[in-house]
Structure 1
């Protein structure tokens, strides 16, 4: 079993921290086997796909490693609460996406929120992309910025639609500032306030079958 390898980066003009962890789970093949036998259902909120429950041992096995990353890279030295975690598979065809699903998004604006994506597809060629809103220059949206960003974005969208499909590169409204490549058993952690999107480059290959689809674990934490 390989030891996890942690790489810290600071991205964009705001120099927000992200953590990339290779060989994240001790037995990713067992996780995939569990997912293949799991019952998936519709994703909540604006997630363009399906989700399923994780094995109980997943969070216990990753707790110490996640705590180290939160402390050493994100500066959260006391505690972290897991708000939500599940297997996730992107399945929605590009032409079926809502406007919200075609935009970079943030998962939360509250301080201390951290998001994680754990890639579990051996053949995935995409990853996670991070963006800057061109008009405001914002790369993160906190509670103070939300009142500026969302009205500004709404006005822009009234004057012109976002391109159809998943966002993976620059558009007229957003500039891509960083991209993390998907790699089997790699995890990326970032502040939930960062503008980001799954970089889906091969939508024709999307499948609801966890054996061949874009299988990930997505998790959201509240850290102090």
Structure 2
């Protein structure tokens, strides 16, 4: 959804006042490669009121399943490519449950990349379900041991993953996708990995499960 909020700049200003902290797993070089901070409650409530019926309709979620939601979080990408851990250098999935949804609001423009989706070549998988999770994990860890990914943010196809397509970033664009899909943030380190919400790759991330 483009032009999602009537006043998106108000959230950028809220991010400038927020207290950002390193994400869990940062010391182990795992998880989101940057900083996160809480988002104003009004955004969270409005987002859920709008998206609950839309997600159920467009992604085939049964009406009887209850909604569970993560806190909304401002996110800014700050980790330099050379400091990324092995799992941060390859596409990932968020969860293998059937109705886990990732929702992202871009508060940065197209210069900051977007979100891309991939197929794992050895397995042919582009979506990791619960029954495939263990097999996929064995394959990806073996590949990383045999041929470690270079210290960079993932983007184009390589020997292990095929790029299927990308959702480009655009200021005030909201995107929703299944968290079980193999994906990666497209990051442009040439712009600088700034912790300043006005300059950096600022997004709001929310996860829903049903």
Fold match (TM-score > 0.5): yes
User: Tell me, which stretches of 5 or more residues in structure 2 are unaligned?
Assistant: 26-30
Aligned residue in 2 for 1:3: none
Confirm whether residue 93 of structure 1 aligns to residue 80 of structure 2.
yes
**Corresponding residue to 1:72 among 46, 49, 57:** 57
Q: Aligned partners of 2:71 and 2:120: how far apart in 1?
A: 27
Confirm whether residue 180 of structure 1 aligns to residue 167 of structure 2.
yes
> SS of the residue aligned with 1:72?
helix
Q: How far 1:77 sits from its partner (Å)?
A: 4.4
CA RMSD of aligned residues (A): 1.4
For structure 1, which segment, 21-30 or 116-125, has the greater mean C-alpha deviation from structure 2 after superposition? 116-125
The structure in which a higher percent of residues are strand is 1
Query: Normalised by the size of structure 1, how large is the TM-score?
Result: 0.86
Aligned residue in 1 for 2:28: none
CA contact (8 A) 2:15 2:74 kept: yes
**Corresponding residue to 2:100 among 109, 113, 116:** 113
Aligned residues: 203
> SS of the residue aligned with 1:22?
coil
Alignment of 1:1-224 (within 5 A): 21-45=1-25, 46-78=31-63, 79-122=66-109, 124-223=111-210
Q: Deviations over 1:157-180 (max 9, x none)?
A: 221111221001111100110100
Q: Aligned partners of 1:146 and 1:59: how far apart in 2?
A: 30
User: Tell me, which stretches of 5 or more residues in structure 1 are unaligned?
Assistant: 1-20
Q: Aligned partners of 1:23 and 1:122: how far apart in 2?
A: 12
